[in-house]
Structure 1
Amino acid sequence: MDTRTMTDDERRAVRSTYRSLRLGVVVLLVMLGAAVLTETVRAGCWLDSLSAYYWTAAHDVLVGTLCAVGALLVVYTSADDIEDALLDTAGFLALVVALTPTEPGTGCPGALVVDVPPALADARTSLTALVVAGVLATGTRTAVALRTTAGTPAVLARLTAALVVLAVAVALLVAPDLLVRTAHDAAAVLLFVAVVGVVVRHAFAARAVGSRWALVYAGLGAAMLLTLSAVVALHAVVPTWTQAVLVLEALLVGLFAAYWLLRTVELWGVDVPPRAHRRRDHADDTTAPVA
């Protein structure tokens, strides 16, 4: 739908939908943090990673929030094609993390361990369903990118996101047991890489257009990279620090939530984030929204 022909009510509806999608991610991350903190207070100590809370009373919130955040990241459409593909990839990987449990944590002997049925620990059914949905979604979006006036970077970004889904699909067919054992850790690492990529990508994009938010985004991107380096270095120096992964995950999630909240504030009054080609097509159109 062309935004220039929208009624006021339609424009408000689109703006409200984008606001809800953005706020939803932040609220869900707060919900995840609250569940982990509550379980920690009950147990009297911290586990060694966020994923380890899968085996505690925080199980439902952990799986539910990761699935919901993953879906929101996939559904949300960024103004930048490469950033949008990174968000799609991060969303798919968040779903993989949610549906493939890791080993129970060892950092807190007092944790209230949930008796999870063995069937829930076998992620093959969930991964199969996720791959079917992922192939459908990425295939459709890649086909649309190829058929429209999207440039080469946009098409390559879409193809890269599709390859991530296809890699999981192939692994599920060729080595399902190996995939179930390793998917969680691999997806978690790649998820954070994609998230950091989103922040760094936008920091450079904001600087290129002289955005007043550029310095803040650059600071968040640098903070994420420094956090990753510092925690890895400290864990190497102090190998007995069992909560290193938990600290790293918590800090990166917190920084991404801060980035997402700032983007929400920046885009609060924007009706529809424009695609790059729309900006080119309507460069002289003062009614086109500007993100």
Structure 2
Amino acid sequence: MTPSRTRDVVLTYRYLRGAMIALLLMLLLSVGYQWWWETDHSCWLGSISAYYYTPARSVFVGSLCALGVSLIAYKGHSPEEDVLLNFSGLMAFVVAMVPTVPDARCGPNAYTQTPVEIAAAVRNNIWSLVVVAVSAAVVAAWLKRGATTRDPSELPTARSVVITVVCGAVLLGELTLFLLLRDRFIALSHGIAAGTMVAAVIAVMVLSALRAEERHQSVASHQGATYKRIYIAIAVALAVALVVTVLTALTWSGLDHLVLISEAIIIVLFCTYWGVQTKELWDLRDGTEARPVRSVAE
């Protein structure tokens, strides 16, 4: 690859990373705006997802779908990371397309929908997602035929196989619910998709932390250790926030706004991790960030 093409690819990578942070910040700002201007500072809904039924709906759906595209388009720095990022991207689409239960604590919702209308929207959107996802998987498999014989780094590892099986089981479960138990899918899939999406991101953070020192072998060794500690700390904090969110949603219904606060913390933590890793990869001058996309660009 020529230097100009390498530069174009790396810049595209960097812009893609920055766009993900911008999308999540836009979501937080939209929810904050809705609270500040539309409810007279007097009421928060119980979760970020509940703002689907407010004027923040377009930003909620649009930012999550764009985030899903970005996560899928972004190639991970290992086969395991790539599987997890693709899985998180698909789950982001499900979170956007299958709404949570309406929250009436702040009065009538601006965009009230009947169960029949919600079911029709979910059926339309998820069928579209399933057809495109399956088609994309077939095309990707066709494009990759024989690639592993040319590039050993593309060979699946035992860990990537295990991760693929786990992620595939979640997707199969969601698809089974959609095909056979539509009502249960509408009731459960939003929460399942949101929880597993965050869990996959936590796994990406841990994998990145485990490889941090390896990435910094050609520079000061303490940098890799520093990034490793940062990523592990963020992953632990994110895991705690996820557990609190799930337990509150399932059992502690009386604790108003705890889910909303935990979700906001999760978004901030992801943006923090993504920003720190962007700086790490930006500072590496040995082509670490360009390496995974060379085979795609050539």
TM-score by length of 1: 0.81
- Paired with 1:252 and 1:30, the residues of 2 have a C-alpha distance of 12
1:124 and 2:138 matched: no
| 3-state SS of paired residue (1:181) | helix
What is the aligned-residue RMSD (CA, Å)?
2.8
**Distance in 2, Cα, partners of 1:115 & 1:233:** 27
The offset of 1:225, in angstroms, is: 2.5
Q: Match for 2:7: what amino acid?
A: R
My pick for the range that moved more, 192-201 or 148-157, is 148-157
Structure 2: runs of 5 or more not aligned: 216-220
The correspondence of residues 198-277 of structure 1 with structure 2, limited to 5 A, is 198-206=204-212, 211=224, 212-229=226-243, 240-268=254-282, 271=287, 272-275=289-292
What does residue 63 of structure 2 align with?
A: 65
In the superposition, relative to structure 1, how do residues 157 and 174 fare at CA in structure 2: closer, same or farther (>3 Å)?
Answer: same
Q: Which moved more, 1:207-216 or 1:247-256?
A: 207-216
**Counterpart residue number, 1:12:** 7
Is residue 48–residue 105 contact of structure 1 (8 Å, CA) maintained in 2? yes
Once residues 186 and 255 of structure 2 are traced to their aligned partners in structure 1, the CA distance between those partners, rounded to angstroms, is: 27
Which residue type is aligned with residue 2 of structure 2?
T
Contact 2:245 2:263 in 1 (8 A): no
Deviation at 1:35, TM superposition (A): 0.2
CA distance in structure 2 between the partners assigned to 1:96 and 1:236 by the alignment: 20
The letter of the residue matching 2:183 is: D
Aligned position for 1:77:
75
Q: Kindly state the Cα deviation for residue 193 of structure 1 after the two structures are TM-superposed.
A: 1.4
Q: 1:158: how far off?
A: 3.9
Look up the match of 1:36: 31
For 1:236 and 1:52, the matched residues in 2 are separated by 16
- The C-alpha deviation readout for 1:146-195, integer Å capped at 9, x for no partner, is 86241333344445444443433333222223212221121112112112
Scaled by the length of structure 2, the TM-score of the pair is 0.80
Query: Do 1:73 and 1:91's aligned partners in 2 also have CA atoms closer than 8 Å?
Result: yes
Q: Distance in 1 between matches of 2:201 and 2:104?
A: 27
Contact 1:36 1:58 in 2 (8 A): yes
Aligned residue in 1 for 2:218: none
Tell me how far apart the structure 1 counterparts of residues 251 and 241 of structure 2 sit (CA, whole Å). Answer: 15
Is this contact kept in 1: 2:79–2:156, CA < 8 A? Answer: no
Letter in 1 for 2:110: V
Q: Which residue of 1 aligns with 2:156?
A: 151
The answer as to whether partners of 1:79 and 1:273 remain within 8 angstroms in 2 is: no
Matches of 2:106 and 2:81, distance apart in 1:
38
Compared CA separation, residues 246 and 170, structure 1 to 2 (3 A): same
Task: Assess if the C-alpha contact under 8 Å between 1:107 and 1:243 holds in 2.
Answer: no
